[in-house]
Each structure stands twice: as structure tokens, then as C-alpha cells.
Amino acid sequence: MSAEAWVGLAAFAFCVLGAAGGLSMQLGSIKKAIGTVEKQIATLFAKWDARPCAEHAERMVRHEAKLEDHERRLAALERD
């Protein structure tokens, strides 16, 4: 093989390795972005899941207060 062929082969190999390294860096960035999005989605669902629970708990407290009020009224009617 001539010297020019070796130089061309070396240049080609250098380009392929450079492209592979660049692709590897891009894949790393994509993986990092996906991880960030996954965390944001998890946070969003955690907030979304917590809100109905808090609203449900508030409704349960109100219903319990109403139930206690009805029980007091019933007890008062039974005494009369």
C-alpha cells in the first residue's frame, strides 16, 4: 500500500472515530434529557395524585362533621 493510501485510511479512521465520539456525546445528552423529562413527569404525577387525596380528606372531615351533627340531632329526638 502506498503512503497516500495509508494517510487516506488514517484520515478516514479519524473521521469515523470522531463521528462515533460525537454520536456518543449526543446519545449521552439525549439520555440526560430523557432522565430530566422522566423526573418532571414523576413530579407532575406526584402533585396530581396528592391533590385529589387532600381534597378527599377535606371532604371526609366535612362528612364526618355532618354525621356527628345528625347523630346529635337523632339522640336529641330520641330523648324527647
Q: Do residues 57 and 68 share a domain? A: yes
Q: What is the mean pLDDT of residues 21-49?
A: 80
**Looking at residue 35, what is its pLDDT?**
85
Q: Do residues 43 and 16 share a domain? A: yes
Cβ partners under 8 Å of residue 9, min gap 6: 1
Whole-angstrom Cα distance, residue 35 to residue 42? 10
Q: Do residues 17 and 44 share a domain? A: yes
The rounded mean pLDDT for the chain is 80
Can you give the residue range of the structural domain that contains 14? 1-49
Cβ partners under 8 Å of residue 34, min gap 6: none
- Model confidence at 4, in pLDDT bands (50, 70, 90)? confident
Cβ partners under 8 Å of residue 1, min gap 6: 9
- Number of alpha carbons in the 13 Å side-chain half-sphere of residue 20: 6
Model confidence, pTM: 0.41
Q: What is the mean pLDDT of residues 4-23?
A: 74
- Between residues 76 and 45, the one the model is more confident about: 76
Number of domains in the chain: 2
Q: Do residues 2 and 39 share a domain? A: yes
Note the Cα 16 to chain centre separation in Å: 36
Q: Do residues 19 and 34 share a domain? A: yes
